[in-house]
Copies of this chain bind each other. A is one copy, B any other.
C-alpha cells in the first residue's frame, strides 16, 4: 500500500501514520518530494490488506499496489520520470544515444571514438573499464586507468560518461568518474551490488538479465530505488533463447511493457541484442518506434581489431548514418528538435 500525504500535511500527521503502520507490525519506506510525501508500506501481504489508513488526518489518498515492486511502479507515480544528467534529459521528448567501444583499450582508440560519436550527435560516451568476461583468461579491462580515460575523452567532446560497475568495492571509484553507473546483465540479481549502487548518489542504468523476466527486472530496480536512488534507467539488451542466429533475442515488447508498468525510462542496446553489425540499424529504428527513450550502441574506430565484440561494433561512418535515421524517426514520432 502506498499512502499519499496531503501537500499541507504536518510532521505530526506523518508521525501518526508511521506509528499506525508500526503498530500493525509493518514497516514503511518514505519518499519525500518537493510537494508531497509518499509512504510505501512494506511487510506481510495479509496485514497490509487489512490496513485502513485513508481516514487518518493528513492523508490525501491510499493506493493498493498488488505487485511486490512499488516505487518503480506506475501506480505509485503515474507520470514519466525524466532524469537530468548534467543537462541531458533521459526520458524526455528526445531519445538520447550512448555510444562508444565495448571496452576501453587505449586513449587513442577512445578519443577517436568519442570525437566521432559526439560529432554524430550522441550525448553519452560508453565504454567498459571493468569487463565481466566469461573466461578468466579474456581481456578484463583497464580498470581505474580506463575510467580516467573515459572522463577525459568525454570532457574533451562534451559528452557524459556511462560505464559499468562490477563490484561493490569499486563503486566509489567508478562514481567519481562516471555520470551514470551501469549494472550489467550478469549482475542484475547481484542484490548486494544493487543495494550499494542505490546509495552511490548517481543515476543507475540497469541492464536486463540474460533470462530475467520483466517482473524480476522491475524488482531488481526496486532494490536500487528502495536504497534512495530515484534515477533508474532500464536497458533492454536481448534475452537468451534457443535462437542462435542472433547473439541474443532483442525483446522490444519489453519496451512497451516497461512503459505500462513503470514510470522509469528505458533504453535499448541493439549491439548486444543482436551481436551483428548489420542488424544494429533496423533494431535501433524499431526500438525508437516502440517507444524507447534512447539507445546504447557500440562504435569502434576500427572494429576489426577490437579486443571485445568487434562483430557487433559500428564504424564511425555507419554510426553517423544510423544517427540520421534515428533523428528522422524521432522527429516523426515526437515532433521534437
Which residues of A are in contact with B by a Cβ distance under 8 Å? Answer: 42-43, 68-69, 132-138, 166-169, 186-187, 189-193, 195, 210-211, 213-216, 219, 222-223, 226, 239-246, 249-253, 255-257, 259-260, 273-274, 278-279, 282-283, 285-291, 328-329, 332-333
Contact = CB atoms under 8 A, between A and B. Distances in A.
Nearest to A224: B136
Nearest to A188: B186
Contacts of A290: 282-283, 285-286, 289
A132 to B, nearest CB: 5
> Which 3 A/B pairs are nearest by Cβ-Cβ distance?
A211-B211, A289-B289, A167-B192
Contacts of A187: 189-190
A246 to B, nearest CB: 5
Contact of A242 (B213, B257, B329): B213
Contacts of A138: 68
Q: Which of A132, A135, A214, A291 has the most CB of B within 10 A?
A: A135
Contacts of A192: 166-169
Count of identical protomers in the assembly: 4
Nearest to A250: B253
Contacts of A279: 253, 256-257
A278 B253 contact: no
Contacts of A246: 253, 257
Given A68-B138, A240-B242, 7 more contacts: A136-B191, A168-B169, A187-B189, A239-B249, A250-B252, A256-B279, A282-B290
B245 A213 contact: yes
A211 B242 contact: yes
A188 to B, nearest CB: 8
A243 B257 CA distance: 12
A232 to B, nearest CB: 13
B274 A253 contact: yes
A291 B278 CA distance: 13
Contact of A273 (B191, B215, B253): B253
Nearest to A186: B189
A138 B239 CA distance: 26
